[in-house]
């Protein structure tokens, strides 16, 4: 990915309780993105929400297992994102929970690689 190019942002609207093969789905997605070489991934936890399974969950309500919305966000070149989507979409067929995946075009204003630290 280069500065001043066009990129695609992928957003997964899932839940913090969603699992895929006994691992958290959000972690699985981040590790998959890393393995596939995507430029970056960010997981944000929401404090309230509902999805296609249609019950409102909130950090305010008392619940035995806290179920909160989680958004996983990835940005990279359109072709790379497309290939990544083709790889991981079949996974969602094996998961009983609902989810929403959106894609949108964004302009990359700056993409800068961090320098490798020598001692850590």
- Residues that bind its own copies in the complex, under the rule CB under 8 A: 1, 7, 9-11, 13, 26-27, 30-31, 34, 39-54, 56, 58, 69, 71, 75, 85, 89, 92, 96-116
Q: How far is the CB of 23 from its own copies (least distance, A)?
A: 12
Phi, psi angles (nearest 5°) of residue 17: -105, -10
CA dist 44 and 9 (Å) reads 15
Paired tokens of 15: 């839940």
Q: How far is the CB of 78 from its own copies (least distance, A)?
A: 11
Under 8 Å between Cβ of 18 and 12? no
For the bound state, the minimum distance from the C-beta of residue 45 to its own copies, rounded and expressed in Å, comes to: 5
Q: Which is nearer to its own copies, 80 or 99 (CB)?
A: 99
In the complex, what is the shortest distance from the CB of residue 92 to its own copies, in angstroms, rounded to a whole number?
Answer: 6
Phi and psi at residue 84, to the nearest 5°: -60, -40
C-beta of 43 vs 80, nearer to its own copies: 43
Helix 25-36 × helix 78-93 angle, to 10°: 140
Residue nearer to its own copies on the CB measure, 20 or 41: 41
């Amino acid at each position: 990915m280069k500065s001043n190019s066009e990129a695609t942002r992928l957003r997964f609207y899932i839940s913090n309780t969603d699992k895929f093969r006994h691992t958290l789905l959000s972690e699985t997605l981040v590790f998959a993105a890393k393995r596939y070489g995507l430029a970056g991934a960010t997981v944000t936890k929401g404090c309230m929400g509902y999805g296609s399974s249609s019950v409102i969950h909130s950090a305010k309500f008392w619940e035995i297992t806290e179920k909160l919305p989680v958004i996983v966000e990835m940005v990279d070149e359109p072709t790379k994102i497309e290939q990544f989507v083709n790889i991981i979409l079949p996974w969602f067929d094996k998961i009983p929970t609902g989810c929403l995946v959106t894609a949108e075009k964004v302009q990359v204003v700056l993409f800068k690689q961090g320098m490798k630290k020598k001692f850590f």
